[in-house]
């Protein structure tokens, strides 16, 4: 390492949102994919956005020249960027280069399917899962990170490049499908060698610091437990630290608790270590002499203004641990929060005033970090004013109307186990067979049909006041009628109304429930160019009026086939909103569960025979710390059952889960006690079905046969084969046929073609197996 070392800055963040205040990256990507812009235009748009973001961070108080500016630009995903850096390209992508290769890995192309996508730790961000076998190349194959450093320096910024660390990279990888039992972590030495070269390249370009993100060190939910990863980390960082040709290294451990690993990491020779003190804690009994402790104090997950008095205490405690220096940062990358509260206004003037005081989005969080750093550098008196103001706002929030509502609190307090139990499954199964008259291998979809431009335009016009509510409702009814007609023509068995009226499966409910506030510009990247706008759950939740009954009963009035009512479950509403931080999640879930229970009862009373309560986020919120699993599964399952246990045995409860790795939550899936569970399965070629069966799951199951995340139409043969695989693994009487997920992001042409094939494939399997109707 060079003699000229720059001290670690006192104020920093782990990364800034990269989608852009106006979602510029989304627009640039989608224009490029649609062939409306060239590669050069895409590169220019991305570099302009990056330059704006860096300028903004400096405006907010971070230093331009001391490596404060964590820089993690990406066209799609940071894990995919690491795959490209390492040249770890699965063989099926051979022959592609540059952006064609990059986007083929992310989205597939005409010839190949993409890499699998899965959720990043306990967030709603999706990363592309590396596929590593014994022969997958692992070398320093792409110096984009160095080129970006050089480019930023030309603009006048000394950035701190951010990379997914080698341990986390391999811990998140899956085995190359050709060698399914291979453990990617056995390639760790080669990955570290590649990182050594990447670090050398950055050093030669003059980078004083590099940030290696190792969130795997906070998780028990990966293929290897946290304690084992911590041991491997020591070897990795001893080796990286030993290299002489490298920048100084910051290792980060966001999203959870790595405090057990910190002591050993501090001895490896790396210069700085970050801990997340919101989901984890400060290291105990660790000798930190010689390292900078970067305290992840400002919450990078949620959007509440910080309790500066409490964070000042955390930082004071950190100062007593004997580190060479204490710096302050966010708990994790700010990619999980929107850009700026200044972009929001709420119609209700009191709410508007309150939320502006109560909230901190990315830009406000950077300012909180800068304030706390001033306290560290200049003494705490220097920020007495800011601390007092933060405390005053917290007190005002706790007492504000709507935050605590006695009628909601007394309802949850009165709940008993009986409120969460239905009749035995076999009794329900018989009653539902009598009522619904479904063929073997019933076909259905997950709920949404394509959200066409016309639908979005109508909604936007309605929001602007250019289309009256009555006209908007009429437009949505026409859409529902068309979707019902299409499903009848296609020959599907259990229909859906298509969710045209929903802007989003969580926001729609958040807008109709008390206790939530939607945002206008609060976009957060979910994957690639896809962004979501989480609602803010700020108060006690209740349902002022029925939310979906009108739409569902209208749809049911158009057909003799059953139409599923469609609701979003409590855990998913919490996971895809920004929940309040002043009430346990379990209690919030029960408040939502009760509101949904009222809706379920109303749907049943309106004659709806099947009701789906989606819980695609059930696994997402699973705590990273294994010791907290049981408590989580208890309240999450409990809230689903609270929402769904009020119905008669002949009303069929469906649920939908959006991932295929459910190992740790299999008991929870069973515990939901839904009559039918649809689950993602296409990309993993149905491997979930035998796994579920072996785990003793014996209710109705609908493994997805069509991977709706990829823009391609699966053939009848391919679908029949997948249905056949599933039918070999579970009793056909309990097997359903459906896509992996909702169709809102697909177009109509591919939707029709794919569903036609899905129905034809189902009929083929029914005939081949002589399943009588
Ligand atoms: N019912 C929702 C839909 O079809 C489910 C979406 C999801 O699982 N994310 O759109
Ligand atoms: Zn889904």
The residues pairing with 69 across neighbouring beta strands, listed in sequence order, are 159
Query: Is 274 annotated as a binding-site member?
Result: no
Q: For 402-431, give the DSSP string.
A: TTS-HHHHHHHHT--GGGG--S-HHHHHHH
Which atom of ligand 1 lies closest to the CA of 656? 8
**What domains does the chain contain, in order, with CATH numbers?**
13-399 (3.20.20.210), 428-769 (3.20.20.210)
Ligand 1 centroid, distance to 567 Cα (angstroms) = 9
Burial class (CB in 10 A: 0-12, 13-18, 19+), 521: middle
Q: Which pLDDT band holds residue 2 (cuts at 50, 70, 90)?
A: very low
User: Which 3 state secondary structure label does DSSP give 251?
Assistant: strand
Structure tokens at 170: 């391999």
Query: Is 627 annotated as a binding-site member?
Result: no
Helix (H) or strand (E) holding 266: helix 259-266
Alpha-carbon distance of 284 to 265, in angstroms, equals: 13
Residue % of the chain over a pLDDT of 90: 95
Q: At residue 1, does pLDDT exceed 50?
A: no
Beta-strand relationship, 536-542 and 652-657: unpaired
Closest CA to 74 of 18, 26, 120: 18
Query: Is 646 annotated as a binding-site member?
Result: no
**Residue range 12-53, pLDDT digits in tens:** 999 999 999 999 999 999 999 999 999 999 999 999 999 999
Which ligand is located closest to the Cα atom of residue 572?
1
Alpha-carbon distance of 515 to 531, in angstroms, equals: 23
Residue % of the chain over a pLDDT of 70: 99
Predicted local confidence at residue 661, as pLDDT: 75
**Residue range 107-141, pLDDT digits in tens:** 999 899 899 998 899 999 999 999 999 999 999 99
Alpha-carbon distance of 59 to 61, in angstroms, equals: 5
Give the torsion through C-alpha atoms of 695, 696, 697, 700, to 10 deg: 140
Cα–Cα distances in angstroms (integers) from residue 709 to residues 11, 327, 527, 659, 742, in the given order: 39, 41, 11, 12, 10
Which ligand is located closest to the Cα atom of residue 745?
1
Predicted local confidence at residue 288, as pLDDT: 97
Q: At residue 343, does pLDDT exceed 50?
A: yes
Task: Tell me the whole-structure pTM to 2 decimals.
Answer: 0.93
**Residue range 547-606, pLDDT digits in tens:** 999 999 999 999 999 999 999 999 999 999 999 999 999 999 999 999 999 999 999 999
Give the residue whose CA is nearest to atom 10 of ligand 1.
742
Ligand 1 centroid, distance to 598 Cα (angstroms) = 21
Q: Which of 126, 497, 629, 709 is catalytic?
A: 709
Ligand 2 centroid, distance to 741 Cα (angstroms) = 4
> Using an 8 Å Cβ cutoff, are 561 and 615 in contact?
no
Which atom of ligand 1 lies closest to the CA of 502? 10
Alpha-carbon distance of 362 to 370, in angstroms, equals: 12
Query: Is 499 annotated as a binding-site member?
Result: yes
Q: Which of 447, 596, 616 to mutate to test the pocket of ligand 1 (most atoms within 8 A of CB)?
A: 447
Which ligand is located closest to the Cα atom of residue 709?
2
Q: At residue 55, does pLDDT exceed 80?
A: yes
For the segment 149-170, the average pLDDT, to the nearest whole number, is: 98
Give the residue whose CA is nearest to atom 3 of ligand 1.
742
Handedness of CA 762, 764, 769, 773 (dihedral sign): positive
User: Please, what is the average pLDDT of the chain?
Assistant: 96
Which atom of ligand 1 lies closest to the CA of 741? 8
Beta-strand relationship, 325-330 and 174-175: unpaired
Asked about 654 being catalytic, the answer comes back as no
Predicted local confidence at residue 188, as pLDDT: 98
Give the residue whose CA is nearest to atom 4 of ligand 1.
742
Query: Is 701 annotated as a binding-site member?
Result: no
Q: Which of 503, 613, 742, 751 to mutate to test the pocket of ligand 1 (most atoms within 8 A of CB)?
A: 742
Query: Is 614 annotated as a binding-site member?
Result: yes
Ligand 2 centroid, distance to 339 Cα (angstroms) = 27
Q: Which pLDDT band holds residue 773 (cuts at 50, 70, 90)?
A: low
Handedness of CA 75, 79, 80, 84 (dihedral sign): positive
Ligand 1 centroid, distance to 620 Cα (angstroms) = 15
**Residue range 502-534, pLDDT digits in tens:** 999 999 999 999 999 999 999 999 999 999 999
Residues with C-beta less than 6 Å from any ligand 1 atom: 446-448, 499, 505, 566, 614, 616, 656, 658, 741-742, 744
Note the residue count of the chain. Answer: 773
Higher pLDDT, 88 or 661: 88
Which ligand is located closest to the Cα atom of residue 575?
1
Predicted local confidence at residue 541, as pLDDT: 98
User: Which 3 state secondary structure label does DSSP give 392?
Assistant: helix
Q: At residue 3, does pLDDT exceed 60?
A: no
Ligand 2 centroid, distance to 696 Cα (angstroms) = 23
Which atom of ligand 1 lies closest to the CA of 566? 1
- 225 secondary structure, DSSP code: -
For the segment 237-244, the average pLDDT, to the nearest whole number, is: 97
Give the residue whose CA is nearest to atom 1 of ligand 1.
447
Give the residue whose CA is nearest to atom 6 of ligand 1.
742
Q: For 537-563, give the DSSP string.
A: EEEEEE-SS-SSHHHHHHHHHT-SS-B
Query: Is 680 annotated as a binding-site member?
Result: yes
The residues pairing with 655 across neighbouring beta strands, listed in sequence order, are 613, 677
Which atom of ligand 1 lies closest to the CA of 657? 8
Ligand 2 centroid, distance to 448 Cα (angstroms) = 10
Lowest-confidence pick of 186-200, 229-243, 322-336, 661-675: 661-675
For the segment 604-622, the average pLDDT, to the nearest whole number, is: 96
Helix (H) or strand (E) holding 47: helix 39-59
Phi/psi class of residue 696: alpha, beta or left (left: φ > 0; alpha: ψ in -120 to 50)?
left
Q: Which pLDDT band holds residue 711 (cuts at 50, 70, 90)?
A: confident
> Using an 8 Å Cβ cutoff, are 299 and 254 in contact?
no
């Amino acid at each position: 390492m060079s003699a000229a070392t720059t001290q670690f800055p006192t104020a920093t963040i782990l990364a800034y949102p990269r989608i852009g205040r106006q979602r510029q990256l989304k627009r640039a990507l989608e224009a490029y994919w649609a062939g409306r812009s060239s590669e050069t235009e895409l590169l220019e748009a991305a570099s302009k956005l990056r330059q704006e973001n860096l300028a903004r961070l400096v405006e907010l108080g971070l230093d331009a020249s001391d490596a404060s500016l964590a820089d993690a630009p990406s066209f799609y995903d940071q894990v995919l960027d690491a795959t490209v850096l390492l040249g770890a390209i699965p063989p099926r992508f051979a022959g592609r280069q540059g952006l064609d290769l990059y986007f083929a890995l992310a989205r597939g192309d005409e010839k190949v399917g993409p890499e699998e996508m899965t959720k990043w730790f306990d967030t709603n961000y999706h990363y592309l899962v590396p596929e590593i076998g014994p022969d997958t190349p692992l070398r320093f194959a792409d110096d984009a990170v160095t080129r970006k450093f050089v480019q930023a320096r030309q603009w006048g910024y000394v950035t701190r490049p951010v990379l997914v660390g080698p341990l986390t990279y391999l811990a998140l990888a899956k085995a190359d499908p050709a060698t399914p039992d291979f453990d990617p972590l056995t390639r760790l030495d080669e990955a570290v060698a590649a990182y050594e070269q990447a670090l050398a390249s950055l050093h030669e370009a003059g980078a004083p610091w590099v940030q290696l993100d190792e969130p795997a060190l906070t998780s028990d939910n990966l293929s290897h437990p946290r304690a084992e990863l911590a041991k491997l980390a020591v070897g990795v960082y001893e080796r990286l630290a030993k290299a002489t040709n490298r920048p100084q290294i910051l290792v980060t451990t966001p999203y959870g608790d790595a405090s057990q690993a910190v002591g050993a990491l501090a001895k490896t020779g790396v210069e700085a270590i970050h801990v997340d003190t919101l989901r984890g804690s400060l290291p105990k009994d660790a000798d930190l002499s010689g390292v900078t402790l970067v305290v992840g104090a400002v919450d990078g997950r949620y959007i509440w203004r910080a309790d500066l008095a409490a964070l000042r205490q955390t930082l004071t405690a950190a100062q007593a641990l004997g580190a060479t220096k204490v710096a302050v940062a966010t708990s994790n990358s700010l990619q999980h929060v929107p850009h700026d509260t200044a972009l929001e206004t709420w119609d209700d003037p009191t709410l508007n005033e309150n939320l502006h005081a109560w909230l901190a989005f990315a830009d406000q969080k950077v300012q909180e970090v800068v304030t706390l750093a001033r306290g560290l550098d200049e003494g705490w008196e220097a920020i007495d004013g800011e601390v007092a103001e933060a405390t005053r706002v917290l007190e005002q929030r706790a007492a504000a109307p709507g935050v605590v509502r006695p009628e909601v609190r007394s309802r949850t307090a009165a709940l008993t186990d009986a409120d969460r139990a239905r009749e035995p499954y076999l009794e329900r199964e018989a009653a539902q067979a009598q009522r619904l008259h479904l063929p073997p291998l019933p076909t259905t979809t997950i709920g949404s049909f394509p959200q066409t431009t016309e639908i979005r335009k109508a909604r936007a016009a309605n929001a602007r006041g250019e289309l009256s509510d009555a006209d908007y409702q009429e437009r949505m009814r026409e859409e529902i009628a068309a979707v019902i007609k299409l499903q009848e023509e296609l020959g599907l068995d259990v229909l859906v109304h298509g969710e045209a009226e929903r802007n989003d499966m969580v926001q729609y409910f958040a807008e109709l429930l008390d206790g939530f506030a939607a945002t206008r510009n609060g976009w957060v990247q979910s994957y690639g160019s896809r962004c979501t706008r989480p609602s803010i759950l700020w108060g006690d939740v209740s349902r002022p009026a029925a939310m979906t009954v009108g739409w569902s009963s209208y749809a049911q009035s158009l057909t003799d086939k059953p139409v599923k009512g469609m609701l979003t479950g409590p855990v998913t509403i919490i996971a895809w909103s920004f929940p309040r931080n002043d009430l346990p999640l379990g209690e919030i879930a029960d408040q939502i569960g009760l509101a949904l229970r009222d809706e379920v009862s109303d749907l049943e009373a309106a004659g709806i025979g099947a009701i789906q309560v989606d819980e695609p986020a059930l696994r997402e919120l699973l705590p990273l710390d294994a010791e907290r699993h049981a408590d989580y599964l208890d309240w999450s399952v409990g809230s689903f059952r609270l929402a769904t246990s009020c119905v008669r045995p002949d009303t069929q409860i469906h649920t939908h889960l959006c991932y295929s790795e459910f190992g740790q939550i299999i008991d929870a899936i069973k515990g939901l006690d839904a009559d039918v569970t649809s689950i993602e399965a296409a990309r993993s070629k149905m491997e979930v079905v035998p796994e579920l069966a072996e785990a003793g799951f014996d209710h109705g199951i609908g493994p997805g046969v069509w991977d709706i995340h990829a823009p391609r139409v699966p053939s009848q043969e391919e679908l029949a084969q997948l249905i056949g695989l599933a039918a070999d693994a579970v009793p056909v009487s309990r097997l359903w046929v459906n896509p992996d997920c909702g169709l809102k992001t697909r177009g109509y042409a591919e939707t029709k073609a794919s569903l036609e094939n899905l129905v034809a494939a189902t009929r083929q399997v029914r005939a081949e197996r002589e399943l009588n109707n």
